[in-house]
Amino acid sequence: MPPKFPQPTIRNPIVRMSLSHKAVAVASLIFATSASADITAYTSQASYLAAVGTSGVDTFDDLQIWNYPTPAPRQAGDFGYSVTAGPVVNEYWGATDNGSDWWMSTGYSHDQLAYSGFGEGIVGAGGFFFGSWYNGTSLPIDAIRVTATDSTGATLTWTIESPEVNSFVGFVSDTHLTSLTVWKDNIPDTFITVNDLHLSVAAVPEPATYGMLLGGLALLGAAARKRRRA
């Protein structure tokens, strides 16, 4: 049976501040978020890509309808990672509807796929998640669950109801993501299937953000010097 994951906790407090305090607040948040991380889920590929920087994609188009042992190294563009299937059958399979766009699937209907070994700078991960049949073609299923875990141990699980081939979910953390696990309830004769796995680094802040950050740091430094003199 796939492991049970805790329900996601929403940590998005509303902060009200005057314009003159914004610079100090931006600098303060740099230190505040280092103690606890937040993971955000996106159900639109465009929204996910807008939230991250450079992305690498593993299209799985090198696969065939064949079994591949795991754990196995894979590459999403410039970013390496590892895939593990199990816990019953430690192998993944190629699957497809048309013989041109290939997907990654499990070798046993109750198994899950776990993607891990992300590089230190990876803050985003996602892809298309759906079901397939014995012959590798897509198949409607009730739901697929995707869990992201970051370097602090925080997790966020997203359930895709009635997933289709174009059902996308991506996760972005304010710290390093360590794994992405895809699983479903024990529905027989259906297989977890993934296409176009994305791994992404953080977006580069705009120059205006840098200016606000530097201004906030300067104000914090001035306040610290004032306290020392007092």
Instruction: Give the position of tokens 């290939």.
Output: 102
Instruction: Write out pLDDT tens, residues 40-71.
Output: 999 999 999 999 999 999 999 999 999 999 99
Position 152, amino acid: T
The C-alpha atoms of residue 22 and residue 216 are separated, in whole angstroms, by: 8
Enter the pTM of the model. 0.75
Q: HSE (CB half, 13 Å, CA atoms) of 200?
A: 24
Instruction: Write out pLDDT tens, residues 78-130.
Output: 999 999 999 999 999 999 999 999 999 999 999 999 999 999 999 999 999 99
- Report residue 89 as tokens: 């059958």
Domain ranges (residues) in the chain: 39-184+195-202
Residue 204 has what pLDDT?
83
Position 207, amino acid: P
